[in-house]
Structure 1
Amino acid sequence: MAKPPSVRTPEAPLAADQMPLFYRQIATLDAARCAGKSLKMSIGFEFARNTNVVMLNGAEFEQAARAYPIVFASAPNPAALAILGVRQAENLFVDANGDWRQNTYIPAYVRRYPFIFHRSEDGQQYTLCIDEAAGALEDGTERPLFVDDAPSEIAKGALEFCAAYQRDNEATREFVRELAKQQLLVPNQAQITLPGGESLALAGFELIDRAKFDALPSFVLTDWRKRGWLGLAYAHFISLGSFADLIERAGKKQVLM
């Protein structure tokens, strides 16, 4: 059984080639490193400007489907993904001020930043870390991460958020593995022509084959209903309608450029 997550003493930082999306300088959260530091109320979303896709957990599908196409990647690491833009390195939901589009759901992967879990080599321990390159800490004691060398309520909140994210992520990977096992995922690409005439090709993702899904035997559907997976599949189908909004937004941005 895996040990519960914790805020721990310092460990060696991860190498640059091991960094996940957005993260550049991950270090363990500890009292010595955070002494005399306060967590800023906000760092904005400038860090997410140059990505057009982020990981998405199944628990988010219903809300995310209203804004983002939800697609999948079955290999090498099973994942669900939210498409944020139709051009490489362009997030259509971050404006010139580094703010996320108002009244739009923000994926948990984005909201988690600058915090993240680091898993031990044996997979039995998760340690709360922070990206020191995020500029999220400032001098002061208004919003400390540690009080008298013990994690503050803010640090505990970050720990709980990352723990919930990790649980949801593992459950989502199980769902994607099952999609692959049932041979429902098919490679796809979107051929897009913007209103101004620019042609784009968005590739490297997979969709659920609707015909194969509809042909699943009843015992599989019953099992999926119990697991909450049917709702995830239907949210995926509904989300594909969001491609039209992305194309419209990309076209408007093209006119302004």
Structure 2
Amino acid sequence: MSSIQPLSRERHAGLRWRRFSGYGFTATTAVAPLAAAEVGKAALALPLAFVERESGWTLAAVLSLLPGQNLYVAPNGNWIVAYVPAAFRAYPFRVAWNEAVQPVLCVDEASGLVVESGEGETFFDESGEPSASVEQVWAFLQETAKGEAVLANACGKLHAAGVIEPWPITIQGADGAQQVTGLHRINELAMNGLDDAAFGQLRRTGVVGVAYAQLLSMGNLSTLGELAQARAQAEAAERAKAEVKPMITLPEDNTIDWDWSKIGR
């Protein structure tokens, strides 16, 4: 059974939830979806790329070039750049979609933030309605979901205009050079080559700003590379430290009387 469960009085009325204190829960997330309203701020701090999903195209924050890794969260859970994607800010809550394609508020019961007693906030008030704090989270998640839909629509228009291309990124791995797949960027030459009618249509629908934000964000790829190098060096140092063996092994008997006056003589 999935740990992501729809919030319900039957299941959660007797439980409480705590707010997260760090972003360690994002440590294995390499790509984070974005909403339209956050593209500008995200572009200043993170590399952004177009990604294709079953539902269509969208723009996402690239947190690592390797799957299962997030270089923007420190080992202590701190986020290390100025912007945190909205998709992470409502944890342990999230939005799912039912068969009628309607948003449903869910909670991650395996987050460690859903508790039976002690400190925390209630899911429901005394009348059985969602508590004020839960209502605030739900409103935020619904706005974020709407923004993600708006951005996906804009990305679809850019793809239809023929200005999205694969982003050629190569990384050095244990097996040599590897090509990163699945990430796309704006083809600036194709963008500049659009005729007045096509470009004007993109501009009138507010799509041009998304294209230029992605182009601007590409400068942050160098920072991602620096973070990857620092992470690899730190991990290598930890492995080396673990492999170092002591030159001598002292006996466990701490009653031995060492004559320090003779040492070095």
Fold in common (TM above 0.5): yes
Which range moved further: 216-225 or 88-97? 216-225
Shift of 1:47: 1.9
> Could you tell me which of 136, 143, 163 is aligned with 1:164?
143
Aligned residues: 232
Matched, 1:154 2:137: no
The answer to whether the Cα contact below 8 Å between 1:52 and 1:88 also exists between their aligned partners in 2 is yes
Residue 178 of structure 1 aligns to a residue whose secondary structure is helix
Q: Per-residue displacement from partner, 1:164-220 (whole Å, max 9, x unpaired)?
A: 0111111111111111211111123301359xxx75532221111111111222233
Contact 2:34/2:60 (<8 A) preserved: yes
Change (3 A) 1:41 1:120: closer
1:33 partner SS = helix
In structure 1, the partner of 2:112 is 135
Provide the rounded CA distance (Å) in 1 between the counterparts of 2:211 and 2:234.
36
RMSD: 2.3
Output the CA distance in 1 between the equivalents of 2:48 and 2:138. 27
Counterpart code for 1:252: A
Structure 1 residue 99: Cα displacement: 2.2
Which consecutive segments of 4 or more residues in structure 1 shift more than 6 A? Answer: none
User: SS of 1:151's equivalent?
Assistant: coil
**1:220 equivalent in structure 2:** 198
Query: Which structure's CA Rg is the greater one?
Result: 2
List gaps (5 residues or longer) in structure 2.
236-265
Work out the CA distance in 2 between the residues paired with 1:90 and 1:39. Answer: 27
> Do the aligned residues in 1 keep the contact of 2:163 with 2:186 (CA within 8 Å)?
yes
Normalising by structure 2, we get a TM-score of 0.79
Contact 2:18–2:119 at 8 Å: present in 1 too?
no
Q: Does structure 1 conserve the Cα–Cα contact (< 8 Å) formed by 2:18 and 2:120?
A: no
Question: In the alignment, does 2:225 pair up with 1:247?
Answer: yes
CA-to-aligned-CA distance 1:120-160 (integer Å, 9 cap, x gap): 2122x322111111122222475212101111111111110
Could you say which residue in structure 1 is the equivalent of 2:90? 112
Q: Partners in 1 of 2:19 and 2:33 — Cα distance?
A: 24
* Distance change >3 Å, CA 74–CA 256, structure 1 → 2: closer
1:122 is aligned to 100
In the alignment, the residues of structure 2 paired with residue 75 and residue 29 of structure 1 have an alpha-carbon distance, to the nearest angstrom, of 27
Say whether the 8 Å CA contact 1:128–1:159 is kept in structure 2.
Answer: yes
Counterpart of 2:41 in structure 1 is: 63
Residue aligning to 1:81: 60
CA-CA distance at 1:48 after TM superposition: 1.2
Deviations 1:3-43 (A, max 9, x none): xxxxxxxxxxxxx6xxxxxxx51211122322343321215
Question: 2: CA distance between counterparts of 1:100 and 1:142?
Answer: 23
Q: Percent identity?
A: 27
CA contact (8 A) 2:163 2:191 kept: yes
Give the one of 182, 186, 193 matched to 1:208: 186
Contact 1:87/1:200, CA 8 A, preserved across alignment = no
